[in-house]
Structure 1
Amino acid sequence: MSEQVMPTAAPTQWVGTPRPRRRAGLSIYSILLIMLLSVSVLSSIVVGVIGYVNGTEALRAIAYEKLVEIRENRSREVTQLFTSIENAVRLSAMNDTSKQAARAFAEGFADLQQGQKDAAASDRVDSYYRDTFAADLSEATGETVDGSAFAPRDAAQTYLQDNYVIPFESWEDAILTSDAGDGSAWSAAHARFHPYYRAMTELQDFEDVLMIDTEGNVVYSAFKGVDLGTNLFEGPYRLSNLAVAYREAMDRNIVDGVVIADFAPYSPSLGNPAGWAVTPIADDGEVIGALAIELPIDRINEVMTVGGEWNMNGLGATGETYLVGRDLLMRSISRQLVDDPAEYETAAVAAGLPPAAAALSVQNGDTLMQQSISSEAVTRALSGDDGTLLERDYLGRDSLVAYAPLSVDGLNWAIVAQETSAEALVPVEDFTRNLILSTAGMIIFVCLLSLVLAQIFVRPLRRLKSAAQRIAAGDEGVQVDAGSSDELADVANAFNDMSRSLEVKSHLIDQQEKAQEQLILSFMPEGMANRYKHGDDAITQDSDDVTVVFADIVGFEELALAMSSEEAIARLNDLIRSFDEAAERHGVERVRTTRQSYLASCGLATPRVDNARRAVEFALELDVILERYSTQQGVKLDLRAGLDSGKVTSGLIGRARVVYDMWGGAVNLAFRVQGDSDEPGIYVTQRVADRLPDSIAVLPAGDVETQSGTQRVWRVEAPAIVVEG
């Protein structure tokens, strides 16, 4: 067919005066939108800036106030700790035990001093200082040590160290010994008083307890360090902080006065820092000696680290409190060393700490007298000021710091509470982020609101469109607001009527489908039902290990003759319902039923290794059901059941009228076993009997001939019925 070409119309021409063109300009919608956006954006920015300035300042002030509160709490705790230490020393020096001990130890020491110096003991002690003590002190301090410079020179010190110091490998072993068994007066005094001072040392976590006579001799030591027997006026430790504190306490001549000595390296402690609290011991106004305790480092660290519960005490993940001495060295442990020693060492060296000092802190597990801190906060605190500031801490981290001097007599320390700014100012960052997000959200909201207001008239149509899409997606009962417009209200009402009608029809279809599915599942397994619903024609299933139960209700035909058909069917349905409930409890599947017969299987739909036992227990429960029913109804009904195990085939038979059935050798043999016997009972083949547990008793009941040979038949005798859920 030829293609017809249509003539093209000529373009329209204006005749006469041309239409004037509209000048380009902003519409009212655009002007309104610009005004709304300008006012909202500018006001949001102004409010945001004011809120940011005020909010960040307030949050920073809160962070500093928290650190100040933590600092004050730790300061009170440390002050209370030193007060308790002073009181403990003061009370111990004032009791009769210390007075008696001071005299006894001084007298015992004087006796030893007057004795002859044992050459063998002197050699042992000199060897210990030359080989052991010098090596240990050199390793701890990293410096070459001449052990002979610390070795005892008099008889008493040599005697005591030979019997109470060098025999033990550690101070923990030495403190456990009360008597060296040498028979000396000093050992007798030690056996009498050492348990008291050992308990005092251990219960209050003191590093050591010393007793010093008026001549400056250390006449007792709880841990038996190398300072036992030394003289604080002339011995190798005459320049130690212990000697200084002892001389000051004796020079004051104040009986209940306590002199606190700041921590300093102490050679008897292998160069580790030691601090002291020293007080005179007086009897009847006469000073007879002095009691000195070595300050408990662990208790100080316990207070400053709040027992390791930093988070619970408001210090978060990076906060800590620590003490700093006049020499700008730490007097407590660093939190970073506790949390991660390797990370502490790396950060401390990077921040300027000598590698040897950092390594020694890690080795000793403490930063006492090792970590130097020369920050502005520490400088101000040592000058007597307190306050807060933002600075870089001893590990090179920007931190918020609260500082103050520590009020403990004899100690010029600073206490610092700090937290990294990255953590402390998280609320500020969160506030800033939230403020920016909220401001941006407000701007976006106003923009969207302006757009929505401009397009508000198309909302009813959009609602109808959305509702139609939901129905197309499968939602039911979708309703829309009719709106205020008459025309749109009519359309919305018609749509709502249609939606309700579709919902009702959908529910009816669902109910019909559920009823059909329940009907199908009532006479075939779920697996076959699924295949049947999908259109399979030939549905069969072979099972190699199934126990078949073929049961007859003996006496029901005679009972039914005396009833109407409706009554007989009702009673039969009651029995079958009871049978089905028992089958469900035992994991047995019903295959089909007739007027008085019940065919079931175990292991067909769900494979079970104990299908024979379950099937027999199911049959035993059927017998109990019939016996109970007979007693209640006043009739005589018995069970005659046959069971066999083996291979069966199940499937659907027919097309127009589908029937689910099961066949095979096991089905035939189960039918023959129960049919060949005239007596009621439960009869099983040899294959079933072999698989039953000992709790189910069976008795011989004859033989049955099959194509494969003679099969032995057994009758089940079970006095007790086991009902499984």
Structure 2
Amino acid sequence: MSIQSKLIVMLLMSSIVSAAVIAVVAFGTGRELSTVSSARWLTQLRTSQERAIQAEFENLTTSLVSYSSSTIVVAAAQLFTAGFDQLANATIDPEQQLALVDYYTNELIAPTERDTGVKLDIDAVLPSSSAPRYLQTHYTVAAAADGDAATTDDSPEGRAWSAANTRFDGYFRDMVTRFEYRDALLLDAQGNVVYSVNKGFDLGTNIVSGPYRESELHDGYEKALGANALNFAWITDFGRYQPDLGAPTAWMVAPVRSHGETYGVLAVPLPIAKINRVMTFDKDWQQLGLGATTETYLAGPDDLMRSDSRLFLEDPEEYRREAVAAGTASAVVDEAIRLGGTTLVQPVPGAALRAAQRGETGIITAEGYLGMREMQAYAPLTVPDSDLQWSILATKDNSEAFARAAWFTRRIVLTTAAIIFVVCLVSALAARAFVRPIRRLEVGANKISAGDYDVAIPETASGEIGDLAAAFNAMSRSLRIKEELLTEQREENNRLLRSLMPEAVMERYRQGDETIAAEHHDITAIYADIVGLDEVSTELSGDELVEKLNGLVRQFDSAAESLGVERVRTLHNGYLAACGVTTPRLDNVRRTVDFALEMQRIVDRFNGRTGDGVALRAGITTGTAVSGLVGLSSVAYDLWGPAVSLAYQMHSGMPQAGIYVSAGVYEVMGDTREFTPAGTIVVGGSEQQIWRLSERP
């Protein structure tokens, strides 16, 4: 018998049936009245917003038709088209071409990859024909360089287009500012963008065959160009527009026509700011008595918003928390915050939207896109002069929708509190029997929180308690297995750290020391590089070069380990190592010289196997040094100081391959190895004698 059944029996035995019936009836009546009132109000709100947004679309299309049929726009289309055609054979010099490539790389390719992770092919978007290359070089790139979008061009090739731009640019800018468009485009009858207010990446491109032919602008252009009706305008749905770095963009288009002849198409982005002002009541929710949770929004057939979320506009960080908690992917929320709105980003699936998409109108209570139960009034949105299949929803959280019912419920609760108190006393006696197995679970949970994963709860009870005990034991076993896996992972991490730095340094790094450094006296340092490897690399592929270099470095590492020499780092062709840093050694000079000879043998064997003519050039010196970790996101172990600096100077100052040693090394090894003078180097303002190891391995 389940816990719920046992509690019901106890409540029936407590003789409170009459009070419970009264409470239930009163609560149901109050909630029903509150539901009807809220539903009626929310439906009226949705209807009002539907009319307002339809009126806004009508105003926008009327204004666009008025502009597209004006004599000024007709003249502009003719002159811009003529100027564009004159640029068919226009040329730009190599320096301008390089500037255009850099502009695309820095302003389109890099931002797109940073924001979306998509790596664009520059050859796919870079203008390939003369006219767009010329216009974007002289206007797009030039405007970005000097901040003047009204840049002019007086060259013979571009004089006609420049004259049209000087004449009409101010007119179109005034139109863009007045109606809050992000841009305005003129397209000729072949699909070329012959003019753009912003002079962006789409200037001069062909919307039919160019890089942006898959955009909604192409569909709207084809619709407008093929229209035969008078005063025609068309609105497309939202889509990601690549020239605007993927910003959600819907287009309003109208043919530029005069006396029955079509000269092109006028296209402007749908002003989402105006749509949002209507749908968000210009953010005056509280002043209009809409409470803290009421909102209206638009949604498309892809279940994505076509207007902005109220919570996003009020508090983006709170929106982030609630949307992610409700199941929206964090990447989607980050994208909305990056774009500054939820249009075409925030998914709002649900029964209400699906019903609206089927053409139905009504109201239901369901979970909203922020995870709250809410009342939702829905309907399909009809927008003339478009093929938009949008829906409009008005929502209100249940906490507000049923506020009156909650107040009435509190009164009922106070009235029946005395009876329920008696019931609680009776129930408490019986509850002890039920709580006993739960307490065992509590004890087990405390042991797990203390790190004891071997705990097991007796599975003696039946019903839900028995199921819970079984689930608890399964959880305990799972945690024990995961703890073992974490231990293995920690050991693997330690192994990786040991390959990057000495163990003593690793322990300090794991403890969180911000500055890790140590001074070393009487150590021997060697800095070597592989002479001729750069020349060999020109004849190899990347994989072949890395394979050869990796083979050499691995043999160097093996030789260093066998001789007690500690590799510090490798950089390009260079190899820095030292002896006596972590483990002091009395014979560190001899070990380092032997290591250099072994490196020379490794290089000779490499040449014999591959036929390459690379050679080893190394500098060995003894003295003091400082070791430590540097960097934040990419930590590196390194060695500095007089010994390292002198070894590098000796190596870099010798034009020929070979093993060069300082006077200190020569004094120690001069009796056991053959050396010849190799000149001097200047260190700290004084000359020091350098010796070259004569013997070959």
TM-score bracket, normalised by the shorter chain, equals: 0.5 to 0.7
- In structure 2, C-alpha distance between the alignment counterparts of 1:346 and 1:46, rounded to whole Å: 41
Q: Which residue of 2 aligns with 1:408?
A: 383
Q: Which residue of 2 aligns with 1:326?
A: 301
Matched residue type, 1:363: R
Matched, 1:159 2:125: no
Offset at 1:127? 2.5
Match of 1:217 among 192, 202, 205: 192
Alignment of 1:204 with 2:148, yes or no, is no
Match of 1:387 in 2: 362
Question: Retained in 2: the 8 A contact 1:114–1:155?
Answer: yes
Q: Report the equivalent of 2:422.
A: none
| Aligned partner of 1:86 among 61, 84, 92 | 61
> Which structure 2 residues correspond to residues 167-206 of structure 1 after superposition, within 5 A?
167-169=142-144, 173=147, 175=149, 177=150, 179-180=152-153, 182=155, 184-206=159-181
CA deviations on 1:95-116 (whole Å, 9 max, x unpaired) are: 1111111101111111112434
Matched to 1:415, the amino acid is I
Match of 1:148 among 98, 123, 129: 123
Q: In the alignment, is the contact (CA less than 8 A) between 2:100 and 2:137 conserved in 1? A: yes
Show structure 2 runs of 5+ residues with no match: 1-15, 419-697
3-state SS in 1 of match to 2:142: coil
Aligned equivalent of 2:400: 423
1:435–1:132 Cα change, 3 Å: same
What is the aligned partner in structure 1 of residue 231 from structure 2?
256
Kindly provide the amino acid, as one letter, of the partner of residue 432 in structure 1: T
In percent, how many aligned pairs have the same letter? 36
Correspondence 1:8-407 to 2 at 5 A: 50-169=25-144, 173=147, 175=149, 177=150, 179-180=152-153, 182=155, 184-407=159-382
How far is the alpha carbon of 1:359 from its aligned partner?
0.8
CA–CA distance in structure 1, aligned partners of residues 148 and 399 of structure 2: 49
Residue pair 2:364, 2:377 contacting (<8 A) in 1 also: yes
**What CA distance in whole angstroms lies between the structure 2 residues aligned with 1:437 and 1:111?**
86
Residues 42 and 298 of structure 1, relative CA distance in 2, 3 Å threshold? same
Name the SS for the 1:85 alignment partner: helix
Q: CA RMSD for the aligned pairs?
A: 2.6
| Offset from partner CA, 1:191-219 (integer Å, 9 cap, x none) | 11111110110111112111100010001
Task: Say which SS state the counterpart of residue 365 (structure 2) adopts.
Answer: strand
Judge conservation of contact 2:43–2:377 (CA < 8 Å) in 1: yes
Secondary structure in 2 matching 1:370: coil
Partners of 2:321 and 2:415 in 1: CA distance: 41
Judged with a 3 Å threshold, the aligned counterparts in structure 2 of structure 1 residues 278 and 396 are, in CA distance, closer, same or farther, namely same
Deviation readout 1:82-104 (Å, 9 max, x if unpaired) = 11111111100111111111101
Structure 1 or 2, whichever has the larger Rg, is 1
Mapped to 2, the partners of 1:86 and 1:304 lie a distance apart of 18
SS in 2 for 1:165: helix
**In structure 1, C-alpha distance between the alignment counterparts of 2:106 and 2:197, rounded to whole Å:** 24
- Structure 1 contact 261–411 (Cα < 8 Å) conserved: yes
SS state at 1:253 partner: coil
Q: Is the 8 A contact 1:214 1:290 kept in 2?
A: yes
In structure 2, C-alpha distance between the alignment counterparts of 1:123 and 1:148, rounded to whole Å: 13
Query: Secondary structure in 1 aligned to 2:237?
Result: strand
Please state how far the C-alpha of 1:303 moved relative to its aligned partner: 1.3
Alpha-carbon distance in structure 2 between the residues aligned to 1:174 and 1:137: 24
Structure 1 distance, partners of 2:114, 2:144, is 17
Tell me by how many angstroms 1:130 deviates. 2.9
> Counterpart of 1:696?
none
Q: 8 Å contact 1:210–1:222 — kept in the other structure? A: yes
CA distance in 2, matches of 1:333, 1:42: 50
Normalised to the residue count of structure 2, the TM-score between the two structures is 0.55
**Hey, what's the Cα distance between the residues in 2 that align with 1:262 and 1:82?**
13
Any conservation in 1 of the 2:381–2:392 contact (CA below 8 Å)? yes
- TM value normalised by structure 1: 0.53
Give structure 1 stretches of 5+ with no counterpart. 1-40, 442-725
Query: Aligned letter for 1:102?
Result: A
**Letter in structure 1 aligned against 2:409:** T
Is 2:27–2:405's contact at 8 Å kept on the other side of the alignment? no
User: 1 CA distance for matches of 2:393 and 2:145?
Assistant: 35
After superposition, the C-alpha distances for 1:513-537 in whole angstroms (9 at most, x for unaligned) are: xxxxxxxxxxxxxxxxxxxxxxxxx
The Cα of 1:158 is off from its aligned counterpart by 1.0
User: 2: distance between equivalents of 1:90 and 1:278?
Assistant: 9
Which amino acid in structure 1 is aligned with residue 71 of structure 2? D
Secondary structure of 1:321's counterpart equals strand
Partner Cα separation in structure 1 for residue 323 and residue 378 of structure 2: 21
Contact 1:67 1:417 in 2 (8 A): yes
- Determine the C-alpha separation between the residues in 2 that align with 1:363 and 1:279: 31
What does 1:405-554 correspond to in 2, within 5 Å? 405-409=380-384, 410-437=387-414
The number of residues matched between the two structures is: 402
- Mapped to 2, the partners of 1:46 and 1:154 lie a distance apart of 82
